[in-house]
Structure 1
Amino acid sequence: MEQDTTLWGIHAGKTGDAESLFIDNKIVALGWAEVGDLTSIPKTREAFKSHYLSKLPLTKPAALPGSAGQLFRFVNEMKVGDLVAFPAKHTKTIHLGEIIGEYQYSPGKSKGYPNQRAVKWLRELPRTHFSQGALYEIGSALSLFTVKTYSEEFFAAIESKSAPTPIPASEDKTVADVKHDVEESTSDFILKILAQETKGHPFADFVGNLLQTMGYRTRVSPPGVDGGIDIVAHRDELGFEPPIIKVQVKSSVGSIGDPVISQLYGKVAQSEFGLFVTLGTFTSQAVQFARAKHNLRLIDGDALVQLILEHYEQLDSKYKGLIPLRRMYIPETAGSDQE
């Protein structure tokens, strides 16, 4: 396979509604029928964005570059001779083919998917023949994208004259990568929402509710001057019995240094505990300072996400609505708990 050959991934609609169109007509296609024929649009991303917005003026600014960019790439960057991988939802197979035609606007073939390119389908293989990492990559949320990380696996499947041997699940080294990517995406999602929606004092309310799910009673300081203590947590109803936990929170995503941690610890009696919770990170000096104190704990963004996932079902309904998550199972590697 030539080194400059691009492998594209493409989806036949979110529900696979264009799968028969792709296979029966030997084409790949994109929707966005409202934008019309793109043949005469200048070959720049800005021109495509302007044209797209003129046809779909209610498009949100954040969505515009991605949608217009996919159309731009389909028309101008995809080349005859490039390869394409199309995962079919209904048959649970991967169709591999070669692009053999330039861009065409053909609403006669499909009103919903008029932006088309001719393709020569070369192979159809069960999903089970590919590694979990390769399947994860072509499961992109985009309609059109380039396949890079696992492209060689698809190239090899195209070039092989015999049916490739399915990768044994127990030997699939990419499972750990998929697990990591899913966990990282979930963590990024949670931290982004909290940073945007609980900035300032609302973050203290959220942490207070999280501590309640862990069996603590909490008193959150009102907005304004709090003396450096945002939450006081305790086990008993009146808050007299130890341990008493004094909590400071920061909804910023930056790095918290030693001076800030020292200030919190200065307000913690020897019989009390100090807890600092942030969406960001701590400097190495701050971490070393906390390690030397038996009654001081630091929770950074990553550790906070783990606590949220562990206690998610017990969170107040308004926070579950703010951070919508669904329980799912992901592949696990043997012995990963010991890593």
Structure 2
Amino acid sequence: MRLWLVRSGRYGEREQEALASNVLAPGFVDIGDLSKAASKDDVREVLRGALPDAGDGRIKHFTNQLYQFVRTMSVGDLAIMPRKNTGMVAIAEVRGDYAFRPDLPNLVHVRPVKWLRPDVSRDVFEQDLTYSLGAFMTICEISRNNAVERVKAVVRTGTDPGPVRAAAPGRTAADIEAGESAIQDIDELARDQIRKHIGAKFKGHALARLVAAVLEAEGYVTSVSSPGKDGGVDILAGRGSLGLDPPRLCVQVKSGSETSDVTVLRALQGTMQNVKADHGLLVSWSGVTQDVEREARQSYFTVRIWRSSNLIEAALRNYERLSEEIRNDLPLKRTWTLVLEE
């Protein structure tokens, strides 16, 4: 059994459809049918025809990834799909061979899977696996440090037991290291570090303090409830010098490790009516269930969901305007790097 990392779009644009369709879908939608490609040379020939202006390096890069997806990956393998828009990952078991699906124009190249855990927090994984999840490649194998057994443990228990530095049966440690020499996505790795820092530094009610600071940086006047029972509201926020002008927000903040379900969303909607808020914001550090996503979609013009990734993005966007106290607790600096070609 092997473990694969398969992304579904640089911006996560194919993630929801991949989950709903029970497939891995790495993209490459402009590339033709690879079902008859028996070798890397066959894959390379298809790529040359589809991308005549691409350089040798890019063709080699894509060839290696697609050959793994089409021929090396096997039924029974495990796969992880990072969920770019939620800060979570989805874990799947491969259930079928490669298929070319022009009837799914946003996906095209797919592998049938069973999603075992569609909403695992990245914080579950130890630092070494988090680093592997930051590989820049769209498709690659993750094998070092007993990765397969650890991900199986996460599926069973929700906990990563940690690294055991041993080669997989039939493979040397050198093979493992060579298989994971992929360039890392520095932006994703940085956000993982920020996510872990916020999760540790802003536990419990402290996360509401960070959310309030971000809202204040965006021009709101806020009132944060005291720690303890909050009556279904952690933050009230409004515009104007006194915070009385619209839009008026009612904010519920969930900082724990559990995914928020529909009872949390419905409680927020009830509180919105009680306090006469125009809009509601549910901030759930560990994400929300699919039922919450569906119900929030039905209340699109009144309710928004912020997951850890949304809060991090808002904090980065407003960092220079955050209070000195918050910036001391969340010390960041801007770094420029070259954008690498996928």
- TM bucket by the smaller chain? 0.3 to 0.5
Larger radius of gyration: 1
Q: TM-score, normalised by structure 2?
A: 0.45
